Structures are given as structure tokens and as C-alpha cells.
Structure 1
């Protein structure tokens, strides 16, 4: 017997599985208060997924509101859409707008690595599509447990294959991201996916169901049993040490269907037959129907009998909770329905009218002629629980910060420095990641100007003018653990700097905030501190937050991941021909460091790899300096002064020199300043520094630029040739580039046995 609304009203004492669906006792009672009765089983299903942590942000809303303090303008234009929409949209000039967003698919990717990662890419691509944009590129910040851990060998190949397989089939270049290893991610890998799209200003579409009598059309793939409660339930649950406590089925992706859906949707937009649109991602039909109705000016009626099913045995609850992929929902004026359906038929995309916009204020859903849902849509989509969870700075934070690196043994001789460099170059977080990135198509569509392993991905927007966008994602979870406020700002600063290093002007950010359980006051303190750091940092840099994602419950048992506030920064460059790559490219070029080096090694790769140590305070972040440094880099790129530029981050100057040399096979001859401690100069991870190479005749212009903006400039040496290249540090050591390359390339391949 179907549990109808009428039956629910007549049977108030019926026991319901609200706890099994992830609802708390007070949440269930609140649903009863809203409805004035117990919910039907279909209504209970809707509320349970929409009020989950993943969908409702119930533990983070009170803190995310702080992003509203930021002005809705970028350094070059205004936001056309911001937080609250499927993705942020910003004006980049010449009539173009860009939309970009990052989201997580962490827990599903642990349960089923390939499909979890693949559908993470598919979901973020549909978010971008729903704004009216053509998706043009993706990025994937990934984090795993120790490289040699058995579970890393299980999840990493599948996750990488899922990201590459789905994106490659869509024909979207993967131009950037990260691969990071740390013990805290064991059993809880992080799979964050970013997508960027381009549109003309007039093509912007929003998610709302308005207009009495407008038709509600579900189009794309049929609805199946895959992903029932998938991301919405999985992402709201802590994993036990032996695995996830809840294992609903993970969504199954079909990238070829998504490719048809993209082209079909873009033609629907071009034909101007869409009044409102929403993708079906987390919470599926529950989300699409309630959010569209909530954002509109009326109600909505839907007939579930009309929903195309892959499995005819699905119940109403399962249909509403299914997170089957490659589905969209559009609101269409009656006069456009025939044309809408014809365009879908042309692309072999199934489309079905399943409802309409009504003059009421409720979302009403029928099944077999009886009403199974009758709810105020806003109560489902937007007015869910809001928790002000307790948070407190943990006592152990003082202990961690007091445990600095001063007592750690440092290399004392040139041979020691050389040994240290080889050890770091061959460590999991500094080694070659090409086994990962070679599985991604970086150049499909022909507009990729820079891609991994560059500091930032760069995509051409307009072939005539050369207008382009640059994107980078960054986060050092070790720094965020030492100080979450500063750590979040360091993530922002590094991503900002990487975009500027490419020659583009940073203009806006999106963030993916990955943390442990919000029920732990220490984790919530980390989260609130990271939010404060980003808000203050974005105010200082003038970069609004356009949207993003919060992922809680990233922990195994009682062990939370390192706080990982991943920051994606988007920049704009007037002419992609003026970009700056990272690799040394001309023998005889001068090698210069911009920015100052301090003795800042707490949280560094050296402390981790050599000593297994995590303590002290992270590097100082100076956002005013970051802005001035960016101005130098942007102006230098515009004037074509630089042959290369590479951000100094993990591994410090030594790693930057190695990576700049390895890129195109040039050696380097370096002479450190006489008053410098060689170890600190080479391995410190001070922020606000960039390694550049340039022709000797351009050095005076760069010195003038640096002086004008108050940025320290230190001449270090020159680029050497490509015949038997070495990296030499005067008075300290000389290492063969071939030996460095062999050490750098080995770790991932050896760990995976390939």
C-alpha cells in the first residue's frame, strides 16, 4: 500500500524510519510541525535527503553567511550570479561571462572509486551547464592516504581513471589540480572537482519555476536505482575504521549521455525555449522539484507516473531519492513545449512533461492517482535545520604550535643538502605526478594554453582577441592544521599567486571546504577559523567568493582529515599569447627570485619527509605583498619580459629550480646570497615568492617593476644548457638532472608496480 498524504494524516502514530534516513529526533518533530501531521513516506524521503548535511549545509550556514560581507564586484567587473545559484557567474569583458565552481565527491569515491569520481565530474559539469554556459574545462584536486598504503592502491587508480574517463569522453580538457598524500586521508580520500564554462551575458539562466501553467520537463537519462541516497546520505556520515557505516549505492555515470545532454541543452538555450532550469545531482528529483518551486513565484504539481524509469519496480520514495546521473529539469512555457521536445528528439535525449507550475504555494506530487507529497517547497529546499554547533579551540592546538622545528637536525654540508634535495624530490608529494595527469586529455577542444604541470591552467575564450581565463587550486592541509586561519589564507594566497604567475589577473574564488565531523567542537573551530581567514583574505585581495561546497564528516573513526580548505582562483588575461610558463627555456637567461625568504620550515615537506614532524607555526602570509607581487608578474607578462615564472611553495626554492629545469631539460647554475643560510634559502617554504628566468637585457625592466611595487628581487644565477645538464649550487653541490629526473619519476610508478 502506498503511503499517501491522506493516509499519513489518518495514521499519526505510524512508526517511521526517520533515524535510519539520517534525521535527528528534533528534525523529525519539526517536519511534523511544518506539515501539521506525520509526513508520508515519500515526504520523509524528500526531507531526509534535502536536510542532509551535504544538501542543506545545516552545520555551516551560519558561518558561510560571512561570505556575504564581500562586495559583489571583481577587480574587472561585476558578479552576474553568486552564492545560492548552481555556480557563480562573472563578467570578464567583451560581452563574455565565465562561470566556475568546485564541489566534492569524497565519500562515494571511497565506496566505489571509479564511479564516485566520474559522477563527481559529471555533476559539476551539469552545474555549469545549468547556468547557460558551455563547459570548457575541468580540474581535480585529489588527496589520498600514504602512497604505500594498501587502500591507496585500491582507490587511487579507480579515482584517477574515473576523473579521466568521464572528462575525456565529454571532450573537456583537464588543465590543473593537485595530488596530495597524507596519512589522515587514508580511508577518506578527497575528490574535489572544478568546472569552468563560458557564456555571453544574455545567455545566463537561473534555477526557478515561475509562470502559471508553465510545463515541467524532465530530460536526459531515465531514473534508476543507482545512487539512492548516494551522495546526500554518504556525505553526511562519518566512516568507521572498517568502512562506511552506510553504503547506499553510488551513482553510475554515462559520459556519452552527458555529452548529448550538454549539446541538447545548449541548443535549447539558443532556441530560447527555457524559462528555468536545474540539474539533478545530489537528492535527485527531491532537489530539482523543491528548489525550482521554492525559487519561483508559485507552486508545482508533478506526476511521478510520468517519470521514465530504468527499473519499473521503484517506489515513489526511491524515485524521489534516486541520484541517477545525466538528468536535467526545465521549466518551459506551453508555447515552446513542442519545439523543446523536438530539439531533445534531435539529440536522442529522452524528454517528458511530468508536471506544471501552479498558482498555489505547495509542491504536490502524485503517484498512481493519489497524492504522496504535499509540502511547502521552501521548507524542503531552503528552510531546513540551521545549527550553531559548539566550537572551541582545542587544548592540543597550543601543544602543536609550541612544537616547532628548531630542535630538528638540519643538513650542515653541501653533500647533506644534495642528499636532502634528492630525498625530497623523490617523496610522494613532490614527485612526478604524470602517471595521473597523462590519463587526462589536457588539450582537447584546442583552447588549452597552459595545463599540468604548470602553476595554473589557462584556457582561451576568444580566438580573435586572445581573451582567456586562468585557474588554479591550492591548499596545504599541514599549514591549515597548524593554524586554520592562516592556513586558509595561505591556500588563497598560493592559488592567487599561481594565477598571477601565469600572467593573468586574479578576480574571484570558489572554495571546497573539506573537514572532519561538525559534531566535534575542535573541527568546527578549524572550520570557523578557515572561513574567517578566507573572508578577511578576500576582502584584502578584492576577490569575491562566487560559490563552492562544504564537505563534512571526512574522518575515519575518530581520526579527522587535516583541515583542507581548497581554494580555486580564476584570473583573466587579455591575450593568452602573453602567458608565462614555468620551465626554463633559454640557455643564458638570468634566474631571479621575487620575494623574501625567511626561516619558515614548520609544516614543510622537509619537516614531514625527513623528520616525520608536524608542529610549530605556518609561514607568515602578507596579502598586501601578494597583491604587489601579482602586479609585477602581470605587468612583466604583458611586456613579455619573462621566459618563465614558477611559484615557490612545497619544497621551497630547491624544488622550484628542479621543476623549472625538468620541464624542458635545461640545467641551472645558482649562487645563493653570501649572507644566506643555504639550507633555509633552499628549503624554506615562505610565502609570496616566485622564481623567474628572463633574458639579461630584460633584467633592468624587471628590477624597475619590482622596485616600483616594493618587491624584493634577488639575482640567483643563470639557466644552463641541455647537454648533460646539472643543477649546481655554488660552493654546495652539483646534481645531474638525469639523476634528479629518475628519482623524481620513480615513487608513484614503484608504489603501483608499473
Structure 2
């Protein structure tokens, strides 16, 4: 680890002396891109983060949002999302597992109990052996950790794109449950309160993790950067979850922060800085699992399953009793002060912060001050980057000519559009008995019985979309996630984002990143879904090049009750397509589609609906109507894939595409904001969408268990069994 020369000059100017090795390392980590958002923070003001439902917005460990319709008191949910991209490349199992652990502890630090996880995963081309190795390791890590701690993984996404080959993405979101009385924040409250470290002992794993996450991945990263990857212990995390619950219930915690990036130094300094305070920490008091650890190692190790609590002095004994009850380590490491952030070490060989600035050492002492800085300067003093950018160019139209039946089979069986059952069947998505609708549907629904509310959750991005058109693609991602929750009868409440990009020092990469920020912000504001928190992960660049700009969005919506229309059709009822303007004679654009990804060519991204908010609200209302039998979002893979997904052994579809439509465009374009609705009352659906979006009658359900699809003078027929075989791509290749 080394502090950049320009940053060192600022530090020396502020401190009026050279930083100690521990201070230099602390600044290097906390001023890294991963922690300080030096290239992204200037852009994040584009997001609307306020609303009457927002209790705690961006800046804390997790956001807090009030649920509507709770007459008995304020029921809150917490929302957080994190990335663990570089660690998951170096060590896919531990990298992904500790990503789950970290976002769960962010939830705990708000006084919330974790109730649901969503994972959005991005890998290189599926036909590459290394991509499959990473996929298998990441899924195993997520399932192991989530299943062991008893938090269900209910939603997410998996995408494959050749530009993730040297740098996969692992984004994990967590939903927690709390209320007004339990709420805790990461803002220190009062000088004289004690700082208590609870959880696993500190080792040397994860040293420099924050700075490692702020650099391009080198070709030898899998071997050379292994020490920067943390090692998780889900059983200790489960104990920490339950201990945290007791601490919150007994009102023993004044503020809290989980130990993640930059370890103890990051958590404790940020905690006091947010309160405009300081701290005095005695580093040797930290319970350790390895001998002879230095002050710097204790300060920056990212050992997992640890929490830093601010506790009033009279409550310290009780906190220690609870930690012992749950077999967790507990150390009173210092106290909150109204001065600087100060760390001392008994027996340290590190340079003392009180050494003579002219270079002469003070007399040797047993206890040395290894850090003595202003906490606010440490956390907020990093200068922001002013980077050049290039606006992405719009692709030309160059469409391939492909046999329609062959195209159907290839697109439906593509790893991107195929069933992800191989992934989510490894997750326990029912633990906690709140899951009403689980993985594999448009959105999950979690029962919040405390407020008699169904919480719908959708999470993911679309690399093909944002690779083709960063701004419009990001707008489409927000709309698609909103359409997913609307298909289950819910309306958007709030969202968190994980903004992933390549090396921002490259103007074309930074231009694409700016595009996804603005696009996501614009559509979320249009949908009245405030973006209440998030994460930024840059320098996702490797020897194979930068990743596509990837704005993962985790969006929640609410509805009365916990039931929702299914995705699969029943054997009787008419099928309508709502929101699609691509069935007109001139078709629509195929840019960003799986069709072009499979067969080559290029095209502009399809235009988006003019009234997206009205479409989402109307679709949610229609989904809740008694006459509605099934609803399914239309997006990845286009109409062809959505129709195939609605067919089962018990019920099929007989569908006819209007004769004046261009077949490839009609079946495979991926304009979001569309849905298939099976209903007993087509007239009511048309009336609901009158003046909002077009409604096209496609056909009706049958009891034959087949998809019979007519496009112009062409007829395609596939049985439910044949479709299942096409869609079992991951299952067939990975079993």
C-alpha cells in the first residue's frame, strides 16, 4: 500500500508533519475510490433521494424507508446493496460469501433484522471454462453463507457477457425490518461513551481490501491479491445477528457501524466523524487471533463478522454479558471524544504521530500514538476527480437475416434468457416463512405481517442494454424493475443501486458511466422511486478490457396482502400484450437485444414509453384485478422468451402476431414497460390502459401444453417439454 504523492502533500499540509505509516495506510484506504467515491460522487447528486417515505437516506450503512398503510405504528424496512467484485475474481467462494456477510452487517448496524437477500451476478461468456468456474464458486459462496445465517435469497439476476471475462461482478442487496423505536444510525452521539468491538477476533485477512478494490485487476490477481480477500464464518455471523437483536431490544446501543472496507480504522473513524466527534482507541485491546500483529494490521485488517458499537459506560457490562452468551469476542477498545481521532498502541514499533516534525525521534516509550488526525478530514478530505469523458456513439442499423424458428430456439436457450433454476435452487428462499413469491418469477414477494403489506423485490441490470446505449439502457433497467414489481400487483416505493464501471480515467469508459448514472436517476425520478442508497464500484478493468457499464438496481414496491397473479397461464382465458409499440408495420429497434448478441449486427436501442409511470401504476392495478389470471413482464429475449416462459405442461398458448409486423422485431425487440396479461375480461384491461398504452390481443390459452405461434405466414410450435429442454441450458451444462 502506498499513498499517492498528491494525496500525501494534502495530508502533510493538514497535519503539518509527515504521516505515520499507520496514518498513511489509513488515508490510502479511506481516500481510495472504493471508500471516497472520488470519481463518482460529483455525479451522484443527479439522484432524487428524498420522499415522505424516506427516514434515512444515502450516507449511512443502509437506508431506512417507512412502509405505507401501517396504522399501528411505524414499520420500517432497511435497504442496502454492496459489490464484492474483485474479491470474487480472486477467490469466488470467499469473495461472494463475505459480500453477503458485509451487507447483512450493514443491515444490523441500523437496528434491523435481515429478512431477504437479492444477488445480481455477471460473468464472462458462458462457454468459457473460467466463467463457469467463477459462476459455480460464487453461487456456492452465496448459498453457503446465506443458508447458514438463515436469511432467504429471494430474487436476483444472472447475466453473461464476454467483457466480464477478466472481471466478474457480484452485487448483493439486503432488506431488513425495524421500527421507529429500534432504529440506530452510524452517527456517534456523545463524548465519554465507550467504543466496543463485538464479534470474531481480528486476523491478518483482507489487509488493504479497500485499495485493492480501487485498482484494475492484474493478470496475476488470482495469486498475488489473495491476502486482500476476507474469509467468512457464517456461523459466527448468525450468532452476531442474534446478539445484535438482543442489544437492540434492550436499548444498549447508541450508534453502530459494521467493520467492512478499511476494517476497524474505517468503521470507527467514520462513526465518530458523522457525529462531528473524535475517538481515543487503544489498539492492543482489540481481541486478536494471530500473534504479534502490528498497529497497522489491527487497524486495517478486514476480518469478518465484527461490529463497532457506541455504548454508554453504564451499559458496557451488559453488552459484554450478551457477547459472552452468544460466544462472541468483546473488547472495550476506547471511547468517543470531542477531539481528534487518535489510536495508540502498546509496544508498537511504528512511527509515533508525536515525533518531532524535523525528523528527530522522541525518547522510546511503551505506548505510542500511531494515529492522530481530524476524523472529518480523514473521511471527507479526499479531493474529487475531474475526469474527461466521451459521449457514447449510437450504433448503426445492420440487422442479420435469420430463420425465424432457428432464432427462436437460439434466443430461448441462450444462457442469458434461459432458466436460472440451477442457481436459485441452491438457495434457501423460504427460511423465515415470509416468502410468498420466490425466485424465478418477475419479482419476489415478502410478507411484512407487521404492516399487513406485501413487499415486492426486483433486482438486476442488463449489460447488453447499457453496452449498446448507457443512458437509455439505464433508463430501461429502472423501468424493467418497476414493471417486474407491477406485474405482481405492487407499486414502486424506493430503490438502491450498485453502479459498476471500468477504469474512469479512460474518457470513453467514464462517458458510459456518466450515462448510466443520469439514465437511472432520470427514470427513477419519473417513477417516483427515490434512490435512497447504493454503492459505486469502479476500476472493474482487467487485461481483457473494461466491463460494460452496469447499473444494478434493487427496487421494492408495496401492495395490500401477499398474493399475486402467477407467471404461468391457466388453460382458459385471453392473452393480451400491453405497452408494446413494436407491433406496428415499421417494427422497432433491436439494439441491446439477445437476438443481436447471438447473431451479430447492430441497431439503435428501442424507444421507451412516453408515460412509464402511468403504465406501471395501471399494470399493478390490473394485476390485482380478480379477472386477471396471469401476468408476465416482457423484456430480456423479447416477446418470444416471455411467451415460452408462460407455457407449462398443463396449459399452453395459441398466439398470432399481427401480419403487418416485421417478424424479428416483433418477437425479439426488448423495449421495457411491456407485459403479457391473461384475463377473463379483456374489455376491462383495454379500459384501464385507454390513453396510457396500446393493448393488442395475441390469442388465448389452451389445455394442450404447447406454444403455437403464428407470425405472418409462418407457424412455429413447441411443446412445454421442448421449451423446458431449451431453457435448461445452465442445468444441462453444469450438472
TM bracket, shorter-chain basis = over 0.9
How far the C-alpha of 1:665 sits from its partner, in A, is 4.6
1:403 Cα deviation (Å)? 2.5
Distance 1:625 1:642 in 2: 23
Partner of 1:493: 479
1:545 Cα deviation after fit: 1.0
2:597 to 603, 608, 619: 608
Aligned partners of 2:22, 2:455: CA distance in 1, in Å? 44
Aligned residue in 2 for 1:735: 718
Report what 1:581 is aligned to: 566
Is the aligned partner of 1:668 residue 2:653?
A: yes
SS class of match (2:107)? helix
Query: Is 1:110 matched with 2:89?
Result: yes
Tell me which of 372, 379, 382 is aligned to 2:380: 382
Partner SS state of residue 227, structure 2: coil
How far residue 132 of structure 1 moved from its aligned partner, in angstroms, is 1.1
Q: 1:56 aligns with which of 22, 36, 57?
A: 36
State the match for 1:627 in structure 2. 613
Q: Contact 2:120–2:459 (CA<8 Å) still a contact in 1?
A: yes
Matched-pair contact (CA < 8 Å) for 2:4–2:28: no
1:527 to 513, 531, 539: 513
Are 1:466 and 2:485 counterparts?
Answer: no
Q: Check the 8 A contact 1:517/1:554 in 2, yes or no.
A: yes
Alpha-carbon distance between aligned partners in 2 of 1:240 and 1:727, rounded to the nearest angstrom: 50
1:250 to 195, 210, 229: 229
Other-structure match for 1:536: 522
Superposition deviation, residue 676 in structure 1: 2.4
Q: Deviations over 1:49-89 (max 9, x none)?
A: 1111111111111111332xx2610xxx4211011111111
Contact 2:491 2:559 in 1 (8 A): yes
Rounded Cα–Cα distance in structure 2 between residues aligned with 1:665 and 1:29: 71
How far does the alpha carbon of each residue in 1:680-713 deviate from its partner, in whole angstroms, 9 at most, with x for none?
2222212221011122xx3222222112x52211
Distance 1:748 1:301, change over 3 A: same
Tell me how far 1:278 sits from its aligned partner.
0.4
Structure 1 segment 279-318 matched on structure 2, within 5 A: 279-318=258-297
CA contact 1:147–1:751 (8 Å) conserved in 2: no
1:273-305, Cα deviation, whole Å (9 max, x unpaired) = 111110001111011111011112432111111
Change (3 A) 1:588 1:635: same
Q: CA contact under 8 A between 2:218 and 2:543: conserved in structure 1? A: yes
Per-residue deviation, residues 594-652 of structure 1 (Å, max 9, x unmatched): 112322212211111123x4x33211123x52211112222123333322111111111
Contact 2:201 2:288 in 1 (8 A): yes
- 2:706·2:717 contact (CA, 8 Å) conserved in 1? no
Q: Which SS does the other structure have where 1:45 is aligned?
A: helix
Aligned to 1:457: 444
What SS class does the counterpart of residue 715 from structure 1 fall into?
strand
Structure 1 contact 133–203 (Cα < 8 Å) conserved: yes
2:12 is equivalent to residue 32 of structure 1: yes
The 5 Å alignment of 1:129-140 reads 129-140=108-119
Within 1, Cα distance between the matches of 2:162 and 2:214? 22
Mean alpha-carbon deviation: is it higher for 728-737 or for 502-511? 728-737
Residues 211 and 297 of structure 1 are in contact (CA less than 8 Å); yes or no, is this contact kept in structure 2? no
**Does 2:673 align with 1:684?**
no
Q: For each residue in 1:364-420, what CA deviation from the matched residue of structure 2 results, as whole angstroms up to 9, or x when unmatched?
A: 433332211111111212222311122222xxx43xx242234x21x4xxxx32221
Q: Distance in 2 between matches of 1:200 and 1:165?
A: 29
* TM-score (normalised: structure 1): 0.91
| Post-superposition offset of 1:724 | 5.3
2:138: which partner in 1? 159
Whole-Å separation in 2 of the counterparts to 1:318 and 1:630: 51
- Corresponding residue for 2:21? 41
Identify the residue that residue 176 of structure 1 maps to in structure 2.
155
Superposition RMSD on alpha carbons, in Å? 1.7
Would the alpha carbon gap of residues 238 and 297 (structure 1) be closer, same or farther in structure 2, given more than 3 Å must change? closer
Partner in structure 2 of residue 15 of structure 1: none
Query: Aligned equivalents of 2:445 and 2:163: distance in 1?
Result: 32
Deviation at 1:581, TM superposition (A): 2.6
537-546 or 500-509: bigger deviation: 537-546
Residue pair 2:158, 2:420 contacting (<8 A) in 1 also: yes
SS of the residue corresponding to residue 176 of structure 1 reads strand
Aligned: 1:424 with 2:411: yes
Contact 2:589 2:603 in 1 (8 A): no
Match of 1:515 among 497, 501, 506: 501
Output the CA distance in 2 between the equivalents of 1:641 and 1:129: 42
Deviation per residue, 1:478-520 (Å, 9 max, x gap): 2212221111111111111111111111021111111100111
Would you say the 8 A contact 1:418–1:735 is kept in 2? no
User: Does the CA-based 8 Å contact 1:595-1:688 persist in structure 2?
Assistant: yes
**Bigger mean CA deviation after superposition, 301-310 or 675-684:** 675-684
Choose from 531, 544, 557 the match for 1:545.
531
Partner SS for 1:532: helix
Match of 1:687, SS? coil
Unaligned runs of 5+ in 1: 1-20
Residues 567-605 of structure 1, C-alpha deviation per residue, up to 9 Å, x if partnerless? 11111112112x223121x21121110112322212211
Aligned residue in 2 for 1:13: none
Aligned residue for 1:403? Answer: 396
Matches within 5 A, 1:671-750: 671-695=656-680, 698-707=681-690, 709-721=691-703, 723=704, 725-729=706-710, 731=713, 732-745=715-728, 747-750=729-732
Classify the secondary structure of the residue corresponding to 1:128: helix
* Unpaired segments ≥5 residues, structure 2: 348-366, 583-587
Partner in structure 1 of residue 357 of structure 2: none
For the 8 Å contact 2:565–2:624, the answer to whether it is kept is no
CA contact (8 A) 1:625 1:688 kept: no
Q: Which among 94, 101, 108 is matched to residue 122 of structure 1?
A: 101
SS at match of 1:239: coil
**Distance in 1 separating the partners of 2:479 and 2:229:** 35
Residue 233 (1) aligns with residue 206 (2): no
Equivalent pair of 2:2/2:24 in contact (CA under 8 Å): no
Change (3 A) 1:632 1:283: same
Match of 1:11 in 2: none
Equivalent position of 2:313 in the other structure = 334
1:557 to 533, 536, 543: 543
The 1:548/1:71 distance shift into structure 2, 3 A limit, reads closer
CA contact (8 A) 1:124 1:194 kept: yes
Could you tell me how far 1:22 is from its partner in structure 2? 4.7
Query: How has the CA–CA distance of structure 1 residues 45 and 297 changed in structure 2, closer, same or farther, with 3 Å as cutoff?
Result: same
Tell me the distance in 2 between the aligned counterparts of 1:700 and 1:255: 53
Q: Secondary structure at the match of 1:729?
A: strand
